[in-house]
Amino acid sequence: MELYYSEMDSPVGTLTIVSNGEKVIRIDYGSFADLEATMTKWASHFFDKPVFIPKPEKVHHVITELRDYFQGKRQNFSFDFEYYGTPFQQKVWKALHDTIPYGQTRTYKDIAGTIKQPKAVRAVGGAVNKNPFSIVVPCHRVIGANGKMIGYGGGLDKKEFLLTHEAK
């Protein structure tokens, strides 16, 4: 299976965008060279013999929208993307995407309630940590019950930047 990728520079560092040719399937912090082993392992769970091919034209529209976001011109994204993960993870990611507006935050407990599994707060945290769509599926908008920023796959500095950016 051919998967296409490109990178972009952003205020939070390099982002790698991956597409299956029709939909975006990942947006990760870091360069492809740094992520290649992890990406290959991940893709092997969902695709037969994944091969990553650098092809910027397959994700150019995504890069344009992300640049608009960082320039304060965009709050939502219009490109198609597809979740690859467990059914529970997909439910959590969909809740993040669909229920946390730009510039607002929710707690892990809020998300557990949204998916109607109020006792699954830790499992929600695990799913949030595996979010394959940095920025677009706004896991940076999830905070601890005490109102503090806790955990973020990209690092708390990036989470703080994104929340401050959206608060403007």
Active-site amino acid positions: 139
Q: How far is CA 145 from CA 61, 82, 121, 167, in A?
A: 36, 29, 10, 20
Q: How many CA atoms lie within 13 A of 17 on its CB side?
A: 27
CA distance 3 to 139: 24
